[in-house]
Structure 1
Amino acid sequence: MKIALLGYGRMGQTIEKIAISRGHDVVLKIDKDDNDYDITLADVAIDFSLPSAAFGNITNCLNNNVPVVSGTTGWLDNYDKAVALCKEKNGGFIYASNFSLGVNIFFELNKTLAKMMSNLNQYNVTMEEIHHTKKLDAPSGTAITLAEGVIDNNNNYDDWKLDESDKSTRIPIVAKRIEDVPGTHTVNYESEVDSINIEHVAHNRQGFALGAVVAAEWLVGKAGVFSMNDVLNIG
């Protein structure tokens, strides 16, 4: 499989190593200022670029019949446009806020717990995410996905809010930036008598990178808008 890497930071470099170890060829490595390339050289593209570049990268892929996997967060104001273009071009597209196989299982666990806690009004939900200091967006896309998973499955909440501390129908998310932390996400249910916490801790970036390559392998030859639940056959 011939892969184009759109974004060649630390994540792109980790994806390259894993892709090569799985027998694939990386035919394009596009940095943030490089717009002069032929995306049709690739069988599939993996986008871990900047938020400002992601939608343009995805559009370029879909317009040229190259399926694309995107893990860039912070661009989702244009997500519906990407979905519409994918359907118009009969292309292949996967977006995930986190490609880690473990995190996607964690997403489903979070939804299940939210359903179980829906009628227990004495518990208040809070979330915390910790990432490395180079992460540009806050809260993380993963934290937003977790919050949306609670909102969709628990009658007590209808929105989320960054760093809000008052108890309301909005889930407060605390975002911390600490050097060299790949990603830690915690969902807390707290009452006056006890607490229930679920947590995912990434030890390195390899889990994210492996999931992106697995998604790209799965996507080639398919048409439609998919998620990691489709890739893993869960949910």
Structure 2
Amino acid sequence: MKIALFGYGKMGKMIEGIATKRGHEIVARIGKDDNPELNGADVAIDFSIPEAAFSNITHCFENNTPVVSGTTGWLEKYSDAIEACKKNKGAFIYASNFSLGVNLFFELNKKLAAMMASTPSYEARMEEIHHIHKLDAPSGTAITLAEGIIENSAYSSWKLGESKENEVSITSKRTGEVPGTHTITWESQVDRIDITHTAHNREGFGLGAVIAAEWLKDKEGVFSMKDVLNL
């Protein structure tokens, strides 16, 4: 499979290594100032920057190239991207986190929230920890987890920092080179329940993105990691 990479930082280079080991060919490495030539790619993987993501994604649709995007911080244009995908009969997967373990954790989080919905004595909150280079807070993964709680409980929104009633409080910490740790806590006056996902390194993110790209090739439509993993 021929792959075009949008963004060639640490993640892009890691994806290149993983894809090459799996027998794929990188035919384009596109930075923010480069000409977005796809060079006949079968699929594109976008781990660029928020300001460039929407342009990269729509460029792929216009050139009949399926695209997998893990860039966060641009989702105010997500509905426009979906519209562009459908208009061009393209193929698209966006995920805030492509780690296979994290996507299983997303489903566990939803199930726990649904179970806790009938026990109002418990209050939900979240803590996420990432490396000091991460630009956005809370993380895209934390937002996805918060949305999973909101969809399956009485909570109506989330808030960074101290929250009000019916808001899931998210605490974001940036320290060292932590790849990513997310903890959901449900606490009452008598006990607490914690579920945590801890990434040991960033390779899981890259591997999941390559697996998603392999799955997306030759498809049409808007998909998620739930489709890829058959969850």
> TM-score scaled by structure 1?
0.97
Distance 1:40 1:84, change over 3 A: farther
The residue number in structure 1 matching 2:97 is: 98
CA distance in 2, matches of 1:54, 1:11: 15
C-alpha distance in structure 1 between counterparts of 2:198 and 2:164, whole Å: 26
1:104-154 per-position Cα deviation (integer Å, ceiling 9, x unaligned): 000000000000000111101000111111111100000000000000001
For 2:36 and 2:66, locate their aligned partners in 1 and report how far apart those are by CA, in whole Å: 16
- Partner residue, 1:83: 82
Report the residue type matching 2:219 in the other structure: K
Counterpart position of 1:2: 2
Partners of 1:97 and 1:11 lie apart in 2 by 14
CA deviation after TM superposition for structure 1 residue 31, in Å? 1.5
Residue 110 (structure 1) aligns with: 109
Equivalent residue runs for 1:1-235 within 5 Å: 1-34=1-34, 36-155=35-154, 157-164=155-162, 166-234=163-231
User: Following superposition, which runs of at least 4 residues in structure 1 exceed 4 angstroms of deviation?
Assistant: none
| SS, match of residue 73 in structure 1 | coil
Between the aligned partners of 1:73 and 1:119, the Cα distance in structure 2 is: 33
Q: Does the 8 A contact of 1:40 with 1:66 survive in 2?
A: no
Q: Is the 8 A contact 2:27 2:39 kept in 1?
A: no
Separation of aligned partners in 2, 1:38 and 1:32: 12
Structure 1: gaps spanning 5 or more residues: none
Count, aligned residues: 231
After superposition, the CA RMSD in angstroms is 0.8
Write the deviation string for residues 148-186 of structure 1: whole angstroms up to 9, x where unpaired: 00000012x10000012x451110100010111000001
State TM-score, norm by structure 2.
0.98
Deviation, structure 1 residue 41: 2.1
* CA deviation map 1:170-225 (0-9, x unaligned): 10100010111000001000111101000000000100000000000000000000
Distance 1:14 1:37 in 2: 20
Whole-Å Cα distance in 2 between the matches of residues 130 and 37 of structure 1?
A: 33
Q: CA–CA distance in 1 between the matches of 2:114 and 2:61?
A: 37
